[in-house]
Structures are given as C-alpha cells and as structure tokens.
Chains A and B, each alone.
Chain A
Amino acid sequence: DGGITQSPKYLFRKEGQNVTLSCEQNLNHDAMYWYRQDPGQGLRLIYYSQIVNDFQKGDIAEGYSVSREKKESFPLTVTSAQKNPTAFYLCASSRYGTGKETQYFGPGTRLLVL
C-alpha cells in the first residue's frame, strides 16, 4: 500500500530534551512538509522540502530542524529551543509542480511535554 507513515503515534519530551519525529512516504513524491496543529487551530507550516538535500523554513520554523537526505524520508527534530512543543504534528507529501498538486497527510504524531 502506498502512503505516508509517521512514528511514533505519541511522544513525550522532557525539559531540555531534543526529540525526533519520523516521516516516511512511498508515494514517490518530491515534496514533503511538516505542519503543527494546536487545539482549535488550523495547520501551520514548519518546514518544507521540494527536493532531496534542500528545504525551506515555513512560518514557524524557530525551535525546529529537519533534514532531507532521502526522497522517502523527512524527519523533524523538536529542539529544546522550542518552548511550547505540545501539539499535533502532521507530515504531508505531494508531487512537485505548479501548485495544483494535492498534499496527502500521514496519521500524525502527538507530542506531549512531561
């Protein structure tokens, strides 16, 4: 089955700890995205990548880092600099093109602070 997987489903972070969220896709999509969703809010873009070894900051990149070493994988690290990390994190992917391409979402990771 083609799709997007995210792990873990739930993640707990201690004070001062960096944590990494996994996102893998087998849709052969060029572009991948990370969003953050807070309760009652829409999705806010953290980082996105349109090609391997290249990525751009979204609207709320501070306190986060990413890498794109493989087309299939786009891990997100939540660093200790992110002071309010509790949220639902969503990874998405799409074909790269003119902007009409649909973004497909993974099941999400819920991050909680201990």
Chain B
Amino acid sequence: QKEVEQNSGPLSVPEGAIASLNCTYSDRGSQSFFWYRQYSGKSPELIMSIYSNGDKEDGRFTAQLNKASQYVSLLIRDSQPSDSATYLCAVNEDGNNRLAFGKGNQVVVIP
C-alpha cells in the first residue's frame, strides 16, 4: 500500500496570514496529486489538482509539486475563517484511478 504522510499537527493561523501544508508520498511513480478540503461532518471537496513539477495557482490557493523530493504542498494566502477545515492530500497509485489519502491537516483560522 502506497503511503501518503501529512505529519503536521493542527495549524492555527491568524486571519490574513499564509497557511502552509505539506505532504510527502512514497511511490516515486505517482503522477497526479490532489488537495481536498473537508469541513467537520461533511464530505471532501476538491481544492486543487497538480500533475507537473512547479507551482499552480488558483485564487488564494497555490499547490507546489516536487517529484524529485516526493512532496506536494498547499499554500493558502490571506487566510479566512471559512478556510478552517481539514485538508486532505491524495496521490494516485500507479497511474490508475486509485487514490491514496493522507490523514489530513486541520487548519484553524483565528479572526
């Protein structure tokens, strides 16, 4: 089973600050990477997908991928209280449609 690690504990950030989340993965052959946001008691919703090395920006969110170092990160700029949620990193397995998920990182934005 491929491993996806999100080791940071709950992250508290002041409103307006940058939240930075990291994720490492074990399978060097992984091709697709996803960040999902999950509010308490709700189902995950896609925030970003990234497939190539480098940065991908979408509004206040930036995903960064480094396949050589096997990590993917998510930056949330100008954090808002509505960003308070758990963020799940997901990595595809072997180029098929199976995803391996990390345990998630909880983000709390303090007004």
Say whether A40 faces chain B, with CB atoms less than 8 Å apart: yes
Contact of A45 among B31, B51, B98 (CB under 8 A): B98
Whether A99 contacts B92 in the complex (CB less than 8 A), given A90-B43, A94-B97, A107-B43, comes out as: yes
Interface magnitude class on chain B: 20 to 34
**Chain A residue with the shortest CB-CB distance to B36:** A105
Which of A96, A98, A106 has the most B CB atoms < 10 Å from its CB?
A98
Contact of A31 among B31, B97, B103 (CB under 8 A): B97
Contact assessment for B97 and A50 in the assembled complex, using a CB-CB cutoff below 8 Å: yes
A97 near B44: Cβ-Cβ < 8 Å: no
Does B110 belong to the interface (CB within 8 Å)?
no
Is A99 a contact of B32 with CB atoms below 8 Å?
Answer: yes
Question: What interface size band does chain A fall in?
Answer: 20 to 34
Residue among B1, B43, B44, B46 with the highest chain A CB neighbour number at 10 A = B43
Contacts A42-B88, A48-B98; is A90 near B103 (CB within 8 Å)?
Answer: no
29 contacts between A and B (CB under 8 A): A31-B97, A41-B103, A41-B104, A42-B4, A42-B6, A42-B88, A42-B101, A42-B102, A43-B44, A43-B90, A44-B101, A45-B98, A45-B99, A48-B97, A59-B1, A96-B97, A97-B97, A99-B92, A99-B93, A99-B94, A99-B95, A99-B97, A100-B49, A100-B51, A103-B99, A104-B46, A105-B44, A105-B45, A108-B42
Closest 4 CB pairs of A and B: A42-B101, A105-B43, A43-B101, A99-B92
